[in-house]
Amino acid sequence: MASIITPNLPEAAALLGCAEAQSEAQMRSQGRELSAAGAQAVLMKDGHLGGESCPDWLIAPNDEVCFPAARIATRHTDGTGCTLSAALTALRPQCTDWEEPVAKAKAWLLLAITEAERLEVGHGIGPVHHFHQWW
């Protein structure tokens, strides 16, 4: 019933009842399995593999698109998944497919993560800077 699901690697493993992906190839394979189970599109989020890059994969029945990004060294990542999903929800009605809103949402989120240091709130894992464009 979902137009898109946006699991990170532990969430995808839980949905499939399998081990967490340990490589980008396994991540894509799990995305295909979730797509075959009925989701119109799956955005597999690679925040947990480690390494210098952090590619996300949009998996649809007839297409797979990589959205590469450099991993940002920060402790301010609280809410990144929810923030990305909310941005996709807001952007999707303006677009004809999932590729455009994913690209726009990821670009905005990367800046929100990068600019999070400016918030100076709390201790430990902090939030992303949702209002980085205006403040």
Residues designated catalytic: 45, 77, 79-82
**Closest C-alpha to 43, from 115, 91, 114, 113:** 91
Joined together, the tokens standing for residue 9 give 């690697």
* Burial class (CB within 10 angstroms; exposed 0-12, middle 13-18, buried 19+) of 47: middle
Distance in angstroms (rounded) separating the CA atoms of residues 10 and 14: 6
Cβ(35)–Cβ(5) under 8 Å?
no
As a 3-state breakdown, the chain gives helix, strand, coil percent values, each rounded to 5, of 40, 15, 45
